């Protein structure tokens, strides 16, 4: 099955390539009085862009940011320019694959769409490739029946010349070992001066390796046959390469009248080459070419200002995506494996013991300088330590879900006051770093960060406002049950009764609610409501198939059954709480487990 985000990724790539070609076109207009070879290289760059996604260059920058620690090593905020670049370069959101997004019937049609599009693309690709192959066979047959030709025209070249009975115009066939193919009897139809000018034109194609460039663009046309712009760019490439060769022939001393007469006589007697990658003499608009040749309009050299413009454009095209990747580089491996010079904080004493209670209910207590977990899975410890959701953990063995542990870890009393102050100021960051050290030491955990395209939802306030009731309970102590939120431990009065499609919150904030809802739906959800209070509420909905049980909730066989006639999660959120889920695009930071072991008991 094709990943559902592939379509949006392709749409973003086509959008970027189209804009890039448009910029190249504007540059060619600015350089229309300069040499044709400059405009030719601009169009060739626009063609090659279709084969090189900006995301590839961004990945290079991402890798550089990972190796050097990146700008995100300290979790600094992304610059506004980075966000703007992402919105402009990737306007098409990732498609979501969850059946919770659409009804079952619509989901079936959506799931078929990528396969239908792939089938259509395959047919188009095959048709274009087959057409090129038939034309190539025609030219190849003419080359095979050709015989060596020794001309009296003085030419300094090592390119083999063949005479063929085919009525094709003179042209260069081949990329790495080109041969000059001439029709039989051409010496009888053209004067020596005319023939010499025509051969000089063909040898320009050889020196410029125009056949290689044309073959690259033929591949672009075959792959992106559905995009009209690639065919238009191809026509501009042929036009500018012929103009460039015309300029070179005149620069080498050929008389304009003789050269123009030679082109016209060749076009009168012989057929144009059927292959773009067989550079001939008759390409482009013949009338325009003859006019340019006869008027002897000399092309201007690039001025200093225009050289600076081209250099800046080239550097921006290459360096821009790389810098974007560096700015958005995920947190590197160095953060999970501290160096001796900058050791991260760690617990002074830690006890880890297996728990064989046979229940999914777990309890944690997180407070300054102390962390206690009962019956917690390693997966949950990873989620808390690295502030990630379940879908953001990649490459983990199955036992991190099935095995449970009791953990008690703390720092000594001498550092307790400082630790409490750090927790108040940094909202639990220090405690998570100490848990990361514990996982690295006792579970032998090594990991690295990566970026993956994953479904992402934002919890926001609905149009008519929230329907939430402020809690009267005082949030004074850490919670004895369930996972803490990214902003610190939950208050003691935060109690939740959790089952499939049934979630109750007492004195809990929406950060905690988002965490629990993410586990229930199996989706990545972020809290963007802007609401900071603690609330009491109950949410009931009909869960879709595949939506899991909450970590720390009651076992599946004892959980209250979901109401089959109830609303979907999207309807329930709006009707019961005045909130809603909005799909958003990502990349999402993930942690990739390189190695993890079961801890030794103590």
Helical ranges in 495-538 per DSSP H: 510-521
Degrees, nearest 5: CA angle 532-533-538: 115
Q: Are strands 179-183 and 171-173 parallel, antiparallel or unpaired?
A: antiparallel
Are both 115 and 43 inside the same structural domain?
yes
Query: What is the rounded distance in angstroms from the CA atom of residue 558 to the CA atom of residue 16?
Result: 53
Instruction: Indicate whether 44 belongs to any domain.
Output: yes
Beta carbons within 10 angstroms of residue 13's beta carbon = 21
Residue of 340, 509, 367, 338 lying closest to 431 (CA atoms): 367
378-386 vs 429-442: helix axis angle to the nearest 10? 140
Whether residue 34 contacts residue 300, with contact meaning beta carbons closer than 8 Å, is answered with: yes
Strand residue runs (E) in 166-298: 171-173, 179-183
What's the rounded mean pLDDT across residues 191-211?
Answer: 89
pLDDT for the residue 70: 44
Is residue 23 a part of any domain in this protein?
A: yes
Helical (H) or strand (E) element with 132: helix 104-144
In the prediction, which pLDDT does 551 show?
46
User: Looking at the domain assignment, is residue 568 inside a domain?
Assistant: yes
Total number of domains constituting the chain? 3
CA-wise closest residue to 539 among 579, 511, 485: 579
Q: Establish if 600 belongs to a structural domain.
A: no
Look at residue 341 and tell me whether its pLDDT is greater than 80: no
Output the pLDDT for position 230.
93
152 or 369: which leads in pLDDT = 369
Alpha carbon distance, N-terminus to C-terminus of the chain: 47
- C-alpha distances in Å from residue 569, one per residue of 116, 122, 459, 517: 30, 39, 12, 10
Cα 303 from Cα 530, distance rounded (Å)? 54
Residues 276 and 129: their CA atoms lie apart, in Å, by 13
| Whether 187 and 253 share a structural domain | yes
- Return all residues near 447 (Cβ < 8 A) that are at least 6 apart: 333, 336, 591, 592, 593, 594
> Is residue 599 in some structural domain?
no
Examine the pLDDT at 447 and tell me if it is beyond 80.
Answer: yes
Average pLDDT over residues 196-213: 90
Say yes or no to pLDDT of 307 above 90: no
* Cα Rg, the chain, nearest whole Å: 34
Does the residue 592 lie in any domain? no
Q: 164: closest CA among 189, 144, 137, 138?
A: 144
What six digits make up the tokens of 537?
Answer: 């509420």
Over range 137-155, report the average pLDDT: 79
Average pLDDT over residues 366-372: 82
**336 confidence band (pLDDT: 50, 70, 90):** very low
Burial 442-478 (b: 16+ CB within 10 A, else e): bbebebbbbbebbbbbbbbbeeeebebeebebebeeb
- Stretch 338-343: mean pLDDT: 54
- State the average pLDDT over residues 581-593: 85
Do 379 and 438 lie in a common domain? Answer: yes
Give the pLDDT of residue 6: 53
Number of H helices, E strands in the chain: 18, 18
> Minimum mean pLDDT among 99-108, 371-380, 590-599: which range?
99-108
Strands 502-508 vs 535-540: parallel, antiparallel or unpaired: antiparallel
CA distances to 179, 295, 395, 405, 444 from 172, in Å: 6, 27, 53, 74, 63
Spatial CA neighbour of 31 closest among 292, 233, 306: 306
pLDDT score at 63: 62
Mean pLDDT calculated for residue range 484-492? 43
> Of 6, 1, 119, which is closest to residue 53 (Cα–Cα)?
6
Whether residue 394 is found in the same domain as residue 431? yes
Which pTM was predicted?
Answer: 0.52
Q: Are 490 and 478 in contact (CB under 8 A)?
A: yes
The pLDDT of residue 562 is 54
pLDDT at 220: 94
196 domain-assigned: yes
Assess whether 180 and 283 both reside in one domain: yes
Show the tokens assigned to 358. Answer: 């046979």
Check pLDDT > 80 for residue 375. Answer: yes
Mean pLDDT computed over 515-535: 83
- 270 with 172, same domain: the answer is yes
Q: Of the spans 3-12, 209-218, 251-260, 561-570, which averages the highest pLDDT?
A: 209-218
Q: Are 543 and 568 in contact (CB under 8 A)?
A: no
Verify that 353 and 421 share a domain, yes or no: yes
Instruction: Answer for the pair 46, 216: CB distance below 8 angstroms, yes or no.
Output: no
Do 298 and 380 belong to one domain? no
- Residue 594: φ, ψ to 5°: -85, -40
How much is the pLDDT for 282?
67
Lowest mean pLDDT among 97-101, 207-211, 257-261, 311-315: 97-101
β-partners of residue 446 are 595
Least confident of 214-228, 449-463, 533-547: 533-547
Q: Which of 333-337, 415-419, 467-471, 589-593 has the largest mean confidence?
A: 589-593
C-beta of residue 566 within 8 angstroms of C-beta of residue 541: yes
Please compute the mean of the pLDDT values over residues 424-447 and round it to a whole number: 82
Report pLDDT for 525: 87
Q: Annotate 382-394 with DSSP letters as a single string.
A: HHHHHT--GGGEE
Examine the domain organization and report whether 302 and 348 are in the same domain. Answer: no
For residues 595 and 396, what is the distance between their CA atoms, to the nearest angstrom? Answer: 8
CB-CB neighbours of 373 under 10 Å: 24
Q: What whole-number distance in Å separates Cα of residue 455 and Cα of residue 586?
A: 7
Domain shared by 459 and 561, yes or no: yes
Asked if residue 311 is part of any domain, the answer here is: yes
In terms of domains, do 57 and 204 share one? yes
Q: Residue 258 in contact with residue 161, Cβ under 8 Å?
A: no
Q: In the predicted model, what is the mean pLDDT of residues 65-78?
A: 46
Asked whether 231 and 276 are in contact (CB, 8 A), the reply is no
CA distance 110 to 303: 54
Polymer length in residues for the chain: 602
- Domain containing 497 equals 455-585
Q: Which of 554, 386, 534, 518 is nearest to 472 (CA)?
A: 534
Residues 89, 170, single domain; the answer is: yes
Residue where a domain terminates, one of 446, 467, 484: 446
Answer whether residue 10 shows pLDDT above 90. no
Work out the average pLDDT over 262-274: 79
């Amino acid at each position: 099955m094709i990943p559902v985000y592939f379509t949006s990724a392709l749409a973003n790539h086509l959008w970027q390539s189209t804009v890039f070609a448009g910029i190249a076109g504007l540059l060619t207009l600015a350089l229309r009085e300069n040499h044709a070879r400059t405009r030719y290289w601009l169009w060739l760059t626009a063609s090659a862009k279709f084969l090189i996604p900006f995301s590839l260059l961004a990945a290079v920058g991402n890798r550089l940011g990972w190796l050097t620690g990146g700008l995100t090593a300290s979790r600094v905020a992304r610059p506004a320019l980075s966000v703007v670049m992402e919105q402009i370069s990737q306007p098409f959101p990732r498609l979501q694959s969850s059946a919770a997004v659409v009804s079952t019937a619509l989901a079936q049609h959506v799931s078929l769409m990528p396969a239908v599009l792939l089938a259509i693309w395959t047919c188009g690709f095959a048709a274009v490739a087959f057409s090129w192959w038939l034309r190539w066979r025609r030219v190849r047959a003419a080359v095979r029946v050709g015989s060596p030709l020794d001309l009296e025209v003085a030419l300094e070249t090592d390119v083999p010349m063949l005479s063929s009975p085919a009525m094709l115009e003179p042209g260069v066939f081949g990329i790495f070992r080109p041969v000059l193919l001439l029709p039989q009897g051409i010496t009888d139809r053209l004067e020596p001066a005319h023939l010499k000018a025509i051969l000089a034109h063909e040898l320009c194609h050889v020196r410029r390796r125009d056949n290689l460039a044309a073959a690259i663009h033929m591949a672009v046309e075959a792959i992106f046959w559905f995009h009209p712009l690639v065919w238009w760019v191809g026509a501009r490439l042929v036009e500018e390469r012929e103009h460039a060769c015309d300029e070179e022939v005149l620069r080498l001393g050929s008389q304009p009248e003789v050269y123009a007469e030679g082109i016209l006589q060749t076009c009168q007697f012989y057929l144009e080459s059927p292959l773009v990658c067989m550079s001939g003499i008759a390409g482009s608009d013949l009338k325009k070419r003859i006019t340019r040749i006869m008027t002897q309009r000399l092309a201007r050299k690039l001025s200093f200002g225009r050289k600076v413009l081209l250099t800046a454009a080239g550097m921006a095209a290459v360096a821009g995506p790389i810098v974007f990747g560096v700015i958005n580089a995920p947190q590197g491996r160095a953060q999970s494996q501290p160096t001796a010079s900058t050791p991260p904080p760690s617990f002074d004493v830690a006890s880890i013991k297996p728990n064989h209670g046979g229940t999914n209910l777990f309890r944690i207590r997180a407070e300054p300088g102390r962390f206690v977990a009962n019956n917690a899975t390693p997966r949950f410890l990873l989620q808390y330590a690295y502030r990630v959701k379940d879908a953001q953990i990649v490459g983990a063995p199955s036992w991190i879900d099935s095995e449970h542990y009791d953990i008690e870890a703390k720092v000594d009393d001498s550092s307790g006051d400082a630790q409490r102050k750090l927790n108040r100021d940094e909202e639990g960051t220090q405690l998570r770093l100490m848990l990361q050290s514990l996982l690295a030491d006792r579970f032998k955990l090594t990991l690295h960060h990566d970026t993956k395209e994953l479904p992402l939802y934002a919890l926001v306030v609905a149009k008519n406002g929230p329907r939430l009731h402020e809690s009267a309970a005082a949030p004074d102590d850490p919670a004895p049950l369930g996972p803490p939120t990214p902003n610190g431990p939950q208050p003691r009065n935060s109690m939740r009764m959790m089952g499939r499609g049934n979630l109750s919150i007492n004195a809990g904030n929406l950060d905690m609610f988002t965490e629990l809802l993410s586990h229930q739906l199996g989706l990545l959800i972020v809290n963007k409501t802007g609401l900071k209070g603690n609330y009491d509420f109950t949410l009931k909905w009909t869960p879709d198939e595949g939506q899991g049980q909450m970590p720390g909730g009651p076992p599946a066989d004892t959980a209250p059954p979901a109401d089959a006639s109830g609303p979907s999660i999207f309807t329930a959120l709006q009707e019961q709480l005045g909130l809603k889920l909005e799909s958003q695009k990502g990349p999402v930071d993930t942690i990739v487990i390189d190695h993890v072991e079961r801890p030794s008991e103590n």
